[in-house]
C-alpha cells in the first residue's frame, strides 16, 4: 500500500525533521517494511514502504535521480512500467533498481506532466524539482490512491491520509460544516472537500504544482477525464 507525507514551507523556513517524522509515523500502518525521509531546507518528503516489486534496498524512498534534480515519494503501482522502462532506456536513462518507482521518476524527468498520460496504474505521487523549486502532486485517473493536502499559514502539507496532516502542530481538526451537509445529503462527497476544514482531496486524474515564492498552488490541472458519447450506429428497439 505505502504512504507518503510532506511539507513545503513557502516562507523558506526550514522543515523540522521531528514534525516530518511525526507525520510519516502516523501512517506507519500503510508501510511496515521501511521508512525514508528527504529534507531540502524548506521542503520535506516522507515515505512508508510496503515492498512488493523490488524487495531490495534499491527500492528505498524517497528516491532521487542521478543528477539530484528530482526526488520522489510515491504510493501505487504502474502496470506498464516495464514497457516504459524500455522507452526510457532508449532515451539514455539508466536504472539501478527493478522498481516502478524509478521508472515513474525518470518518466517525469524525461516527459514532464505528459508522462501522466503514459501511465497505466494507480498512484499518488509527490515530486520535488530542485532546479525549479517546484512541488508536483498527482493522482491516477480513477483516484484509486488517495492524496490529501492543506495549507496552514505558510506551510503546505500533503499526505496519503488526513491523519498525516493533523500530525503537524499547525493543522487542527476543525469541522467543515458545509462538507458535513454534503455528506449527509448524498452519503458521499462530490467535490474535493473533506470533513476537515481546509483539507482537500486532490481530484482523480489531476495534478497540482506549487512553486517557491507563490502564496498559493497553481490551479489544479485535469489531465484525464471520462468521455461519454452516443454510439455511432443506431440500435433497434430490441437492443
Rounded Cα gap, residues 138 and 136, in angstroms: 7
pLDDT in tens, 10-24: 999 999 999 999 999
pLDDT at 108 (0 to 100): 98
Q: What separation in angstroms does the CA of 238 have from each of 3, 10, 70, 233, 235?
A: 50, 61, 57, 14, 8
Residue 127 lies in a domain: yes
- The residues that bridge with 44 in the sheet, in sequence order, are 7, 39
pLDDT band at 237 (very low <50, low <70, confident <90, very high): confident
Catalytic residues, which ones?
2
pLDDT band at 169 (very low <50, low <70, confident <90, very high): very high
User: What mean pLDDT is predicted for residues 3-32?
Assistant: 96
Residue 238, pLDDT > 80, answer no
Residue 227 lies in a domain: no
Residue 237 lies in a domain: no
Residue 53 lies in a domain: yes
Residue 217 lies in a domain: yes
User: What mean pLDDT is predicted for residues 176-186?
Assistant: 93
pLDDT in tens, 48-57: 997 777 677 8
Residue 51 lies in a domain: yes
Tell me which residue range forms the domain holding 198: 3-222
CATH of the domain at 87: 3.60.20.10
User: What mean pLDDT is predicted for residues 79-85?
Assistant: 97
Residue 231, pLDDT > 80, answer no
Residue 233 lies in a domain: no
Residue 239 lies in a domain: no
Q: Residue 109, CB half-sphere, CA atoms under 13 Å: how many?
A: 26
Q: Is 171 exposed, middle or buried (0-12, 13-18, 19+ CB in 10 A)?
A: buried
Number of domains present in the structure of the chain: 1
221 is written with which cell numbers?
A: 490541472
Share of the chain above pLDDT 90, in %: 82
- The helix/strand count (H/E) of the chain reads as 5, 12
Share of the chain above pLDDT 70, in %: 98
pLDDT in tens, 109-154: 999 999 999 999 999 999 999 999 999 999 999 999 999 999 999 9
Residue 214, pLDDT > 90, answer no
User: What mean pLDDT is predicted for residues 36-42?
Assistant: 96
Amino acid at each position: 500500500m505505502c504512504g507518503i507525507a510532506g511539507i513545503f514551507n513557502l516562507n523558506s523556513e526550514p522543515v523540522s525533521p521531528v514534525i516530518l517524522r511525526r507525520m510519516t509515523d502516523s501512517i506507519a500502518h500503510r508501510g511496515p517494511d521501511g521508512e525514508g525521509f528527504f529534507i531540502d531546507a524548506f521542503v520535506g518528503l516522507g515515505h512508508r514502504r510496503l515492498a512488493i516489486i523490488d524487495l531490495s534496498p534499491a527500492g528505498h524512498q524517497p528516491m532521487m535521480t542521478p543528477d539530484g534534480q528530482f526526488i520522489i515519494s510515491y504510493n501505487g503501482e504502474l502496470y506498464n512500467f516495464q514497457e516504459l522502462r524500455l522507452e526510457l532506456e532508449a532515451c539514455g536513462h539508466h536504472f539501478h533498481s527493478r522498481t516502478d518507482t524509478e521508472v515513474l521518476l525518470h518518466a517525469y524527468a524525461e516527459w514532464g506532466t505528459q508522462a501522466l498520460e503514459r501511465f497505466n496504474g494507480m498512484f499518488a505521487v509527490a515530486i520535488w524539482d530542485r532546479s525549479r523549486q517546484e512541488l508536483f502532486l498527482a493522482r491516477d485517473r480513477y483516484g484509486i490512491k488517495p492524496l490529501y493536502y492543506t495549507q496552514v499559514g505558510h506551510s503546505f502539507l500533503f499526505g496519503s491520509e488526513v491523519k498525516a496532516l493533523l500530525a503537524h502542530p499547525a493543522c487542527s481538526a476543525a469541522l467543515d460544516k458545509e462538507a458535513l451537509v454534503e455528506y449527509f445529503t448524498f452519503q458521499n462527497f462530490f467535490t474535493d472537500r473533506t470533513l476537515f476544514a481546509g483539507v482537500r482531496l486532490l481530484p482523480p486524474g489531476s495534478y497540482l504544482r506549487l512553486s517557491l515564492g507563490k502564496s498559493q498552488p497553481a490551479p489544479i490541472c485535469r489531465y484525464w477525464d471520462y468521455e461519454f458519447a452516443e454510439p455511432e450506429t443506431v440500435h433497434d428497439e430490441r437492443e
